[in-house]
Amino acid sequence: MAKKTVLPDARVSPRFAGVATFCRFPLPEQVAPENAPADWAVYGAPFDGGVTYRPGARFGPRAVREASQYVKPHHLEHGVTLTETLSIVDAGDAPVAPYSCRETQDLIAQWAAEGRPGCDESTKMLAVGGDHSIALANMRAAWRRHGSPAGGLAVIHFDSHIDTVDTIWGETHQHGSVFRRAFEEGVADPTRMVSIGIKGPLNRADDLNFAIDAGVRIITHTDWRADGPDRLRDFLSEIAAARAYISFDIDAVDPAYAPGTGTPSVGGFTSAEALTILRSLAGVNVVGADVVEVLPDRDPAGVTALLAAHIVFEILCLDAVRRAGS
Amino acid sequence: MAKKTVLPDARVSPRFAGVATFCRFPLPEQVAPENAPADWAVYGAPFDGGVTYRPGARFGPRAVREASQYVKPHHLEHGVTLTETLSIVDAGDAPVAPYSCRETQDLIAQWAAEGRPGCDESTKMLAVGGDHSIALANMRAAWRRHGSPAGGLAVIHFDSHIDTVDTIWGETHQHGSVFRRAFEEGVADPTRMVSIGIKGPLNRADDLNFAIDAGVRIITHTDWRADGPDRLRDFLSEIAAARAYISFDIDAVDPAYAPGTGTPSVGGFTSAEALTILRSLAGVNVVGADVVEVLPDRDPAGVTALLAAHIVFEILCLDAVRRAGS
Amino acid sequence: MAKKTVLPDARVSPRFAGVATFCRFPLPEQVAPENAPADWAVYGAPFDGGVTYRPGARFGPRAVREASQYVKPHHLEHGVTLTETLSIVDAGDAPVAPYSCRETQDLIAQWAAEGRPGCDESTKMLAVGGDHSIALANMRAAWRRHGSPAGGLAVIHFDSHIDTVDTIWGETHQHGSVFRRAFEEGVADPTRMVSIGIKGPLNRADDLNFAIDAGVRIITHTDWRADGPDRLRDFLSEIAAARAYISFDIDAVDPAYAPGTGTPSVGGFTSAEALTILRSLAGVNVVGADVVEVLPDRDPAGVTALLAAHIVFEILCLDAVRRAGS
Amino acid sequence: MAKKTVLPDARVSPRFAGVATFCRFPLPEQVAPENAPADWAVYGAPFDGGVTYRPGARFGPRAVREASQYVKPHHLEHGVTLTETLSIVDAGDAPVAPYSCRETQDLIAQWAAEGRPGCDESTKMLAVGGDHSIALANMRAAWRRHGSPAGGLAVIHFDSHIDTVDTIWGETHQHGSVFRRAFEEGVADPTRMVSIGIKGPLNRADDLNFAIDAGVRIITHTDWRADGPDRLRDFLSEIAAARAYISFDIDAVDPAYAPGTGTPSVGGFTSAEALTILRSLAGVNVVGADVVEVLPDRDPAGVTALLAAHIVFEILCLDAVRRAGS
Amino acid sequence: MAKKTVLPDARVSPRFAGVATFCRFPLPEQVAPENAPADWAVYGAPFDGGVTYRPGARFGPRAVREASQYVKPHHLEHGVTLTETLSIVDAGDAPVAPYSCRETQDLIAQWAAEGRPGCDESTKMLAVGGDHSIALANMRAAWRRHGSPAGGLAVIHFDSHIDTVDTIWGETHQHGSVFRRAFEEGVADPTRMVSIGIKGPLNRADDLNFAIDAGVRIITHTDWRADGPDRLRDFLSEIAAARAYISFDIDAVDPAYAPGTGTPSVGGFTSAEALTILRSLAGVNVVGADVVEVLPDRDPAGVTALLAAHIVFEILCLDAVRRAGS
Amino acid sequence: MAKKTVLPDARVSPRFAGVATFCRFPLPEQVAPENAPADWAVYGAPFDGGVTYRPGARFGPRAVREASQYVKPHHLEHGVTLTETLSIVDAGDAPVAPYSCRETQDLIAQWAAEGRPGCDESTKMLAVGGDHSIALANMRAAWRRHGSPAGGLAVIHFDSHIDTVDTIWGETHQHGSVFRRAFEEGVADPTRMVSIGIKGPLNRADDLNFAIDAGVRIITHTDWRADGPDRLRDFLSEIAAARAYISFDIDAVDPAYAPGTGTPSVGGFTSAEALTILRSLAGVNVVGADVVEVLPDRDPAGVTALLAAHIVFEILCLDAVRRAGS
């Protein structure tokens, strides 16, 4: 029988009340034995020392926690109730080393792979950033927990930027190199990776070449309008058996919907498009995920954090759909 | 001959000048005899005691008045000039009882059904909220003035939420139960109601059941993309003879376009989509309407109030089109 | 030996990381046995249904939790380290009934007087509002726990408004009547109450009369400049033996320092003045307190919540000074 | 017997309800015969074509109307109830010529000197700007209505800038030349003028010389700290018999208190200081006034408009004190 | 061989560093001889004295400079690297006469037609406004430099408003009359002009008639959805041989994407649509352009200025595509 | 004869026009020979990798440049015209290494000590941060250029925090250790340093001990009210002969005046107090300075950057006063 997630009683504690956890999920120590170990742990990765432009995403986890209070548990389009299907915790924030991206990646990866109250190594980890550099840490943890000897994780990557640069300002570990490092470490498999929403302008004509040469399927924002859904469908059938990781950089969405991010890129998806694409992933075996680059100080109306909270929900529901279907 | 609405002389008082009334419409005592009784009275319903999450919509009427100063009178797509076709007043704000939703609904309903200078019982009432609970009051007034013995009003409802909950925190009268109460009171007819833009997530899988069982046609945001325009067209032909009420909760529109609302729901309509749907209602016999849930304190760029002002204009133009056509 | 408050290890979890509790205090279930029962419980009272103008203070507790992350534990001017002297918890948010002020006051009062993990009836309660109506609930709890048969609590009240109105819109329980009800219930003693920072304009010339007749000492903002410190000193020596309650309405401070409040009143204290007055209370036997009327949606730079967080700290330090001294 | 100002019944229409007029004063056509002609007419002057830096003050009147809804009628420090002592109207906005400062000044001056319903030439005019250039228009109207053959009006001027420049960008009529023109026209008397709050930096060392040579008493912000109150007291006794005009540029107050202005100048008065100075003018025979340079688009927390609304109240109360005293 | 644009070395001066010029282009005096004369000069036109509603666009050039720092040089969709193909400078801001639209238009037109270091009369001029009235000045300069005796420039005009009014408030030169004046002066040819994105409401039914009668092709926002791309394609083939001018009023885009503008009009293009249309102009012989009506004070998240910066980039790339192709 | 600073002709380029440099000072290459070498170079240090809480100060230099456009050249209180007395340039931004504080400090120090067009080693350097860690770099440059063999620079330090921590998160070079490192390197002399505005709360009781033991004179914000001016006067007479460095952390000022900073501390100086203290430094031999910790993303009304711009002006005027006096 499915484990469940017990939310606060809204008759006592309305959605505007209480210490804010992701989607009002319980803290690990609050999980009842029958719901342990949790199926998913959502946690914060409050680090922004890997950015190349505007910092501030270290405050992303708190903003998403706050905005997620109004996320309700039943997914209308999938017809599944998240909290009736999965046991989910808010595992708090991972440790960080604010002055070192590399050290932070190591700290988070180790912390995310460790057991904790209410969780064990079967628990899947969803990281809320922080800048995109923290994805490397969470992919490592996902691979350590759920990877297969056959190779790195399949990756479904939403972004305006390809993030496969080698070095920036002499540094190999920052938010622009996260997938290149993941390929090198073997935690991600470029031949089973798709990057959705890539758009220009670029620094140089060859900025995408490394990823293309490595086998990454790129569906630019422009491609999406032409034949993106078909291409994505083909990709998904190819990786049907794979363990997949979803990495969602909020700047894949247009600045009108997600102004609160460090390197906004105009001309992106609407929220409705982003949710639709996410819903089309139903069936994928998601073993880890991240939602990154939410920068609250540039989000005066709170719409970015609200969207990010719903993307967290959509990703978790993908697993709920799969379990409900099995 | 059509009565008219006389606007301030823009050569003397530019759109940024003067005491702000809805769309610069005259106050009731400023209406010339030849334009009385007014065809429509737009009024504020400054109440937000019925909310379940974020309050503040009591300041909605003032924000919409201010934002509406730049609403011009000629509708390009319909080819009709509102102020040449209808006599419209800003009737001020209805009385409210800030600590009681039920008492406020009674106060507003009675006030809206009463005559006042320049208006009589033929005048149609458009309420600007305030939270959605005020719609019950305005529907009552519309039904009392323009209803037919045959049954409740037909309702065209734009919203992310179905608003047919029975009780919340033990209270039967708040913004989530407004249509359920309207059905019970007989002022709205669920079998002649359509709800457009409904979306998840929901609290429970059966949240929509009451409405569906009662006969409400639901066109979710997802349905809209599939076959919504057809479904709406069918519905409209069914209710062609009916007296219809339009209730527009601004959260039907995506938070990028309407961040200033109390329970924003991501993945909604764009402004252009919302206006297009409204324009497709041409021909409907609108006898009352509301535009609700504008919350100015979450609207830093003013786009929500501006959109709401234009929705007021679009709704009024539907009646202008009808009169111009007749 | 003094119990202590154990804060998160900042080497692992920087101040910008982690689930936000008041001043990073532990949750009740996280308190070690040697620090139980806690000396103080700080809790949220997320209710704003008692306001007469702008709502939104229901989001005050969350905003103060977030802003309080940078509050450090050592008080430079008093020379006392709060967390070395007192055991303090964040007890979460009290239950509320969003549609009824009176019911909410009952719920909070009962909840605040109950025991809970890590706390017992010796634990003092500091409520973070919410609107000022929640002060009645917390005064009741303080009186039930720490009151003396001799009479109601002494009260040190910071505010622009006297809050002793009888009824507003027919309602006896809202944020403008909180002290009148407290006098009637006997939980506060008007002859041992001082109201600091009162200022005009008033609705009527006799708005202060009830309080004056009841024996409340009023030190208006204007009085303060003339001889306020002396008057306050005299009052404090009078109540030296009393059990005192501090109620701090953030609108006592000028809108430049505290724009985020529902009924801002121009010409108030600076932050530095407010902190200085609070520090002059050293020696008072504080048995309960509240900090109310923080409205985050009107606080674009976050200065109001930050100030409120520091006022919480200053109040707690008054007890730390007293214990350190004893 | 004193005429009165009848405000809306707050039991029906709370302060957050209704079409917003200055301090909820009636429109001219709403004044009962026994209260006509009004003692004062407050009106908007929505013009900002005279600025030298940031425009936007054309939206000042609306913002001040909105912020003034919470201004209550009884002045605690003066002990006078404004609405029991004076009959005051909101006369709407004066006509403007948005592309010409000079033409606008003529339009406003003529409009302000004209009679209107509920007002006659005995009614005193308080203009809410708009940029400072509109002060010339209102001074003209004040002088025409209330001036004496003996010479121009006495002027009490609050500002960071002296505003006696001759021409800017070839234009003699803009917001920096307003008093120079007033001296030339004879509507203001430089030998009976005091400028309070002047501060640097200046464009040139001799920027103040014209004013000094003309006889204007300058009390810089720095002077104020040294001996300003004494100097002001001396000045007031000199002009005790005069008909005085008060011109309050909101930038006299520090940007922390009044960020919403076009040429903010750091290091100015606090709100409390500004109100105290205004209160010290009790006894002056005020025959006209303006409050100018409120720029809402730079006022995210609304504190500037709120302060301006209270300055309007303070100025009107000066006349109420005088009448109450006589 | 193509001249180039040398950008700052990002290894030394990251995109968040340095004095902000448009897209980090060099100032004229910094252009190396081999890159002179520049192909394009981008300059600011900081004037907003021609507006009919909200001013503030005088600060547009600075905001666009700042937002443009993250514009990268390679256009992914066109496959062209702007800085490798064209030599571009930031020519600073044109002179303005803040109190006179007409005089400002003369000043800018003359300045823009003059040579300057690193530029000569072959250099094309792209003006960043400022309100739309500055477009007349830049069209004059474009025509003087690049026009043909055969007639005025072809114009591709993006806007919500047609801007062919004759006079407003008695003034013939303001932002609503810019194309009417351009037709009269012969610098623009109405029979070779297309206006894209026009939408209602209008002041009067005949507001578009002048333009239609003059031969302007109007593709309203509604038309666009029906058959706009085809109509535009037809138009472009008609003007294939012409020298074309692009005038982009940011209010053609929906307020969700461009809130920071003076007369926002709901229901407009998304950013993605706007960029797509611009890209479809590849092949046009662009000899001048403007991007206008960016009003930073209404752009709290900075998305408007960011979009405008990318529109500048898209327009410049049109010429790069053409040169790369030739 | 004094060299001068030539500002743009305001008749052509108003203060709202042009590429924004600090106070409109010329770039180095724009300085006329007779004004070279410049007396002062103001430059940006866009680095915030040394913060312990909220990042974003890397955008400080741009914000201060923009806000400084309205800084005029004549200092009213000192009676000196800055631009007539000193030749000053905006030297652009120093190079930074965004991922390494230590490397950045080395880069900036070397860059600041180098000659450049229009400057030589006699030119004094004023750095605009950026976080406080950049002060170490600028002190090094000041000491290298203007230091004396007798020992480190005298330091006048404005701050809420003492910034003499040894290591934070294992890092010795960040914004909290800047003076400790400066003492160790010998560039600053703790026995000739005063820290003004220090306030609590602190992390630990002994947080100030290192500084006190090293000989730093601390005038806390509380001390200031008691006898600060006297203490400062004494200190200044002690260091009358010394070469002094001014380091101004904007968080010394209260958050109402300077919300835009990374670690705001409530209860600080008003702007007027800060300017007054700075003016009292007249006579000091200032050989270098910095103004740091301006964080524009938390500065919605722009008051922080405006204040910082004026502090830059005040510091430069101290040298102007000295030269004018000599």
Interface contact flag, C52 D14, Cβ < 8 Å: yes
Q: Which of E48, E56, E99 is closest, CB to CB, to D169? A: E99
CB burial readout C192-207, b (16+ within 10 A) else e: bbbbbbbbbbbeeeeb
Q: How far is C85 from chain B (nearest CA, A)?
A: 38
- Which chain B residue shows the shortest CA-CA distance from E303? B301
Structure confidence by residue, pLDDT tens digits, F214-273: 999 999 999 999 999 999 999 999 999 999 999 999 999 999 999 999 999 999 999 999
Give D220-267 as a DSSP string: EHHHHHHHHHHHHHHHHHHTTTSEEEEEEEGGGB-TTT---SSS--SS
Query: What pLDDT was estimated at residue B148?
Result: 82
Chains D, E: CB contacts under 8 A, how many? 41
Say if CB A265 and CB A199 are below 8 A apart: yes
User: Are residues C313 and F201, on separate chains, in Cβ contact within 8 Å?
Assistant: yes
- Which of B85, B275, B299, B303 is most worth mutating to test chain E (most E CB atoms within 10 A of its CB)? B303
pLDDT band at C324 (very low <50, low <70, confident <90, very high): confident
User: Is C12 within 8 Å of A95 when comparing Cβ atoms?
Assistant: yes
C56 interfacial to chain B (CB closer than 8 Å): yes
Q: Which amino acid is it at F121?
A: E
Give residues with Cβ within 8 angstroms of A53, minimum separation 6: A262, A263, E14, E15, E16, E70
How many angstroms separate the first and last alpha carbons of chain D?
Answer: 12
Side-chain-facing half-sphere of B36: CA atoms under 13 Å: 14
Strand partners, D124: D40
pLDDT on residue D1: 64
Closest of C16, C21, C23 to residue C316, by C-alpha:
C23
Mean predicted confidence (pLDDT) in E65-69: 98
Give residue F59's pLDDT.
Answer: 98
pLDDT value at position A326? 62
Torsion of the alpha carbons at C198, C204, C208 and C211, rounded to the nearest 10: -130
Put simply, whether F52 touches C (Cβ < 8 Å) is yes
Q: In sequence order, which residues have a C-beta less than 8 Å from that of residue B39 and are 6 or more positions away?
A: B3, B86, B87, B88, B122, B123, B124, B319, B323
Cβ of D202 within 8 Å of Cβ of F76? The answer is yes
CA distance C257 to B319: 49
Q: Does residue D111 sit at the C interface (CB-CB below 8 Å)?
A: no
Q: What is the pLDDT of residue D291?
A: 98
Would you state the pLDDT for residue A1? 64
Q: Which two tokens stand for residue E320?
A: 């790069």
Instruction: Pick B16's closest partner by Cβ from D14, D19, D58.
Output: D58
Single out the residue of D96, D76, D73, D95 nearest to residue D86, CA to CA.
Answer: D73
For residue E326, name the pLDDT band (cuts at 50, 70, 90).
low
Question: Residue D32 CB: number of other CB atoms within 10 A?
Answer: 12
What CA–CA distance (Å, rounded) separates E307 from F189? 50
Q: Is the pLDDT of residue B326 over 80?
A: no
Per-residue confidence band for D326, with pLDDT thresholds at 50, 70 and 90: low
Q: Does C256 touch chain D (CB under 8 A)?
A: yes
Lowest mean pLDDT among C5-14, D311-320, F275-284: C5-14
Arithmetic mean of pLDDT, C80-100: 97
pLDDT band at D324; cut points 50, 70, 90: confident
Contacts of C264 in chain D (CB under 8 A): 70, 303, 306
SS3 F308: helix
Asked if F52 has any chain D CB less than 8 Å from its own CB, the reply is: no
**C-alpha span between E148 and F275 (Å, rounded):** 60
Rounded to an integer, the average pLDDT of D119-133 is 96
Kindly determine whether residue A99 and residue F48, on different chains, have CB atoms separated by under 8 Å.
Answer: no
Check CB contact of B205 with chain A, cutoff 8 Å.
Answer: yes
Q: What is the DSSP string of C170-224?
A: TBSSSTTSHHHHHHHHTSEEEEEEEEEEE---BSSTTTTHHHHHHT-EEEEHHHH
In chain D, what residues touch E171 (CB-CB under 8 Å)?
99
C173: left (phi over 0), alpha (psi -120 to 50) or beta: beta
Asked which of C116-125, D74-83, E173-182, F160-169 is least confident by mean pLDDT, the reply is: C116-125
Which residues of chain F register pLDDT less than 70?
1, 326
Mean of pLDDT over chain D: 96
CB-based contact, D282 to chain E, within 8 Å: no
Instruction: Compute the average pLDDT of residues E87-106.
Output: 97
Tokens 């209406």, residue located: B31
Token output for D198 = 């002047």
SS3 assignment, position D116 = strand
Where is D181: in which H helix or E strand? Answer: helix D178-185
Cβ–Cβ below 8 Å for E270 and B275: no
Which two tokens mark F185? 């390197």
Which E positions 165-184 lie with beta carbon below 8 A of chain D? 169-171, 174
Residue B71 pLDDT level (bands cut at 50, 70, 90): very high
Nearest chain F alpha carbon to E98? F14
Angle, to 10 degrees, between the axis of helix A101-113 and the axis of helix A134-146? 30
Q: Indicate the burial class of C213 (C-beta count within 10 angstroms; 0-12, 13-18, 19 or more).
A: exposed
Chain B residue numbers with beta carbons less than 8 Å from the beta carbon of E301 are 300-301
Chain C interface includes A61 (CB < 8 A): yes
Q: Collapsing DSSP states into helix, strand and coil, what is residue E135?
A: helix
Token pair 């302000």 is found at D112
Nearest CA in chain D to B111: D12
Distance from CA of A169 to the nearest CA of F (A): 7
State the distance between the two ends of chain B, measured CA to CA, in whole angstroms. 12
Q: Any chain F CB within 8 A of the CB of C72?
A: yes
Distance of alpha carbon F297 from the chain centroid: 20
Task: Report the residue count for chain A.
Answer: 326
The whole-number pLDDT of residue E150 equals 78
- For an interface test with A, which of C21, C23, C93, C100 has the most A Cβ atoms less than 10 Å from its Cβ? C93
For A240-272, give one letter per residue: b (16+ CB within 10 A) or e.
eebbbbbbbbbbbbbbbbbbbbbbbbbbbbbbb
By the CB < 8 Å criterion, does E56 face chain F? Answer: no
| Percent of chain E whose pLDDT exceeds 70 | 99
Residue B75 pLDDT? 98
Of E207, E256, E260, the CB nearest to B257: E256
Percentage of chain D modeled with pLDDT above 90: 94
Q: Which residues pair with D44 in a beta bridge?
A: D93, D128
For A163-180, what is the mean pLDDT? Answer: 96
CA–CA distances in Å: residue D10 to residues A265, B95, E190, F228: 50, 10, 58, 50
Domains annotated on chain D, with CATH: 22-325 (3.40.800.10)
Other CB atoms within 10 Å distance of the CB of residue F60: 34
Instruction: Dump pLDDT digits (tens) for F164-196.
Output: 999 999 999 999 999 999 999 999 999 999 999
Q: Compare CB distances from F48 to A52, A55, A297 and report the shortest one's residue.
A: A55
| Total CB pairs under 8 A between chain B and C | 41
Q: Does E213 touch chain A (CB under 8 A)?
A: no
Chain E contact present for A260, CB below 8 A:
yes
What is the mean pLDDT of the segment spanning D4-9?
94
pTM score: 0.98
Find chain E residues with C-beta within 8 A of B75's C-beta.
Answer: 200-201
Cα distance from A272 to chain B (closest Cα, Å)?
A: 4
Residues of D in contact with F70 (CB under 8 A): 53, 263-264
Q: Which residue of E has its CA nearest to D296?
A: E297
Percent of chain B with pLDDT over 70: 99
pLDDT for res D18: 95
* D320 CB burial (10 A radius; 0-12, 13-18, 19+): buried
Q: Is A52 on the interface with E (CB under 8 A)?
A: yes
Beta carbons of C179 and C157 less than 8 angstroms apart:
yes
Provide CB contacts within 8 A for F174, sequence distance 6+: A99, F50, F51, F52, F101, F133, F168
| Residue C11 binned pLDDT confidence (cut-offs 50, 70, 90) | confident
pLDDT score for C1: 64
Give the model's pLDDT for residue E162.
97
Torsion of CA C270, C276, C277, C282, to 10 degrees: 160
Place B2 in a pLDDT band, splitting at 50, 70 and 90: confident
E81 interface with A at CB cutoff 8 Å: yes
Higher per-residue confidence, E66 vs E11: E66
Nearest to B162 by CA among A72, C59, E256: A72
